Amino acid sequence: MTPNVVLDVVKVFAPSAVAFFIGISITPILTHYLYKHKMWKKQAGKIAPDGRPTPIFNQLHREREVGTPRLGGIIIWVSAGLTTLIFALIATVYPTLLAEKLTFLSRNQTWLPFFTLIVASLIGLVDDWLEIRSSKGGLSFRHRLLLVTLLGVLGALWFYFKLGRSSIDIPFSGELVIDWLIIPFFVLVMIFLFTSSVIDGLDGLAGGVMAIIFGAYAGIAFFQNQIDLAAFCAVVAGAILAFLWFNIPPARFYMSETGILGLTTMLTIVVFLTESVVTLPIIAFPLFATVLVNVIQLGSKKFRHGKKVFLVAPLHHHFEALGWSPAKVVMRYWIIGVIMAVIGMIITLVGR
């Protein structure tokens, strides 16, 4: 292994470890604040996207949603953001060859995902704060969808005009040029991933699944020689693992919108930077399955006079309703997530 390759490996893994330990370090401060100010929903239960009640979900979770704080996702974007800025600051203050090599904040690879992660997480923070403090609840689905769409449009314009991207890579077939249609397609992918955020429903589920996905994309970016992007994906994965340390059952807090919203929107940027949108449903299979089941359930209820295909949606709650323990559901999601992510990585890398 050449010295440059060794340095690239260090560049990817060292910041990831730093992000993990920063996340672990700030958690006691955040935990104290969340419990002191009772930052949790004051009433359990939710309403389905079609406006109908969710009696099965409410029965399964009537004792879980109250008393456990939201806003745990702050650990993820704060520790990832601090790690990114620390390495960039070191390279600025001490511009040695090693410091400049280890910094991974770059215009062509990580500016846009970094910006998206922070902005979307702040939007999620506002939603969570209103959910906790306002009697009217958080931001409506329509408002969140509008904000995500706006982020998608900005990202799509950056890709099309700044980076000159106008094609989709088809594994084993080459590039499919779609010209300006890349803009609406990009927005649709971001909206799709945004709707998958409902996977944040069981202790450890979203954290484990998202850590696997970003770990996979760190590997893809590394083998594509996008080392800065690989390092940033690894940093996010390390930050998620710090959160997951405290989110496994019984969860100390929930990720909530300030975590999952930033991760799903940023994932869109990573997918297009690595030109792996075709293999996204494989690499992020748990997210894809979650959205697909929701669409099937809503469509069935609308066109079959209220009849359901699944006991309850999203899919992980269906398994709960069948009698699976939450821990069994989460662990099996992790297993499927790892297997599918590996398959997706292979197809992405070999198929180019």
Place of tokens 């406006």: 51
Q: Per-residue pLDDT averaged across 2-27, rounded? A: 93
- The C-alpha atoms of residue 160 and residue 238 are separated, in whole angstroms, by 30
- Report how far residue 197's alpha carbon sits from residue 184's, in angstroms, rounded to the nearest whole number: 21
Closest by CA to 251, choosing from 330, 319, 309, is: 330
Contact yes or no for 60/321 (Cβ under 8 A): yes
pLDDT digits 0-9 by tens, 257-292: 999 999 999 999 999 999 999 999 999 999 999 999
Give residue 58's pLDDT: 57
Task: Output DSSP code: residue 181.
Answer: G
pLDDT at 54: 60
b/e burial code for range 223-246 (CB count within 10 A of at least 16 → b): ebebbbbbbbbbbbbbbbbbbbeb
Q: Is the pLDDT of residue 27 over 60?
A: yes
Alpha-carbon distance values, 207 to 133, 256, 309 (Å): 25, 11, 27
Q: Bridge partners of 174?
A: 170
Contact present, 104 and 11 (Cβ < 8 Å): yes
pLDDT (average), residues 67-89: 95
Host H or E run for residue 174:
strand 174-177
- Per-residue confidence (pLDDT) for residue 52, from 0 to 100: 56
**Predicted confidence (pLDDT) at residue 248 exceeds the cutoff of 60:** yes
Angle between helix axes 141-157 and 182-195 (nearest 10 degrees) is 140
- pLDDT value, residue 337: 98
Question: Which pLDDT band holds residue 236 (cuts at 50, 70, 90)?
Answer: very high
pLDDT digits (tens, 9 = 90+) for 38-68: 998 876 656 555 555 566 555 655 556 678 8
Report pLDDT for 306.
81
Distance, CA of 169 to CA of 279 (rounded, Å): 10
Q: CA-to-CA distance for 135 and 190, rounded, in angstroms?
A: 30
When the pLDDT of each residue in the chain is averaged and rounded to a whole number, the result is 91
DSSP label at 139? Answer: -
- What's the pLDDT score for residue 136? 77
> What's the mean pLDDT in 215-224?
97
Radius of gyration of the chain (CA): 20
**Residue 5 clears pLDDT 90, i.e. is over it:** no
pLDDT (0 to 100) of residue 116: 96
Q: Please, what is the end-to-end C-alpha distance for the chain in angstroms?
A: 24
Asked if 80 contacts 117 with a C-beta cutoff of 8 angstroms, the reply is: yes
Please report, rounded to a whole number, the percentage of residues in the chain having pLDDT higher than 70.
93
Query: What's the pTM value of the predicted model, to 2 decimals?
Result: 0.93
**Residues 251-288: b if buried by 16+ CB within 10 A, e if exposed:** bbbbbbbbbbbbbbbbbbbbbbbbbbbbbbbbbbbbbb
Q: Determine the pLDDT at residue 59.
A: 61
pLDDT at 12 over 90: yes
Angle, CA 284 vertex, CA 279 and CA 290 arms, to 5°: 125
Position 327 scores a pLDDT of 94
3-class SS shares of the chain: helix, strand, coil, % to 5: 70, 5, 30
Residue type, 33: Y
Judge contact between 61 and 203, C-beta under 8 A. Answer: no
Range name among 12-26, 138-152, 300-314, 330-344 with the lowest pLDDT average: 300-314
Identify the CA nearest to 72 among candidates 110, 121, 111, 114. 121
Question: At residue 32, does pLDDT exceed 80?
Answer: yes
Q: What percent of the chain has pLDDT over 90?
A: 78
H or E segment at 16?
Answer: helix 3-36
Res. 115 pLDDT band, cuts 50 70 90? very high
pLDDT value at position 51?
Answer: 55
